[in-house]
Amino acid sequence: DTAVSQTPKYLVTQMGNDKSIKCEQNLGHDTMYWYKQDSKKFLKIMFSYNNKELIINETVPNRFSPKSPDKAHLNLHINSLELGDSAVYFCASSLGTGTAGANVLTFGAGSRLTVL
């Protein structure tokens, strides 16, 4: 059983389109994240949700809108896609956001988005 699963794994689309990436975790974790890995392989946090509530919203264009229907799901919707949005997007989850052990992250396999 996959712990953190993302779909789709690959996404190729035209500039200006709207697309979504879905993420689900079956670990019973309370906290979920979206990270972006750019062409230089640098991983940077975008959003974090704890029990369906937004707790981190880094400097991300408002074309990116996360949605957490329940604590096992965190989806990422992107409007008006731009060339610079091309990257690998990783979903992750952790037991919580506290200190000891709770914040060991489990990552999904990534969704590679290519904007043409």
Question: Nearest CA to 76 among 86, 87, 67, 85?
Answer: 67
Minimum Å gap between C-beta 116 and another protein is 20
For another protein, the binding residues in 34-93 under the rule CB under 8 A are 35, 40-45, 48, 50, 55-56, 90, 92
Three-state DSSP class for residue 68: strand
Shortest spacing between CB 67 and another protein, in angstroms: 19
SS3 of residue 48 by DSSP: strand
Torsion of CA 87, 74, 48, 76, to 10 degrees: 40
Query: Coil, strand, or helix at residue 98?
Result: coil
- Interaction of residue 107 with another protein, rule CB under 8 A: yes
Contact with another protein (CB under 8 A) among 14, 28, 62, 101: 101
Please report, as ranges, the residues that interact with another protein according to CB under 8 A: 4, 31, 33, 35, 40-45, 48, 50, 55-56, 90, 92, 97, 99-101, 103-110
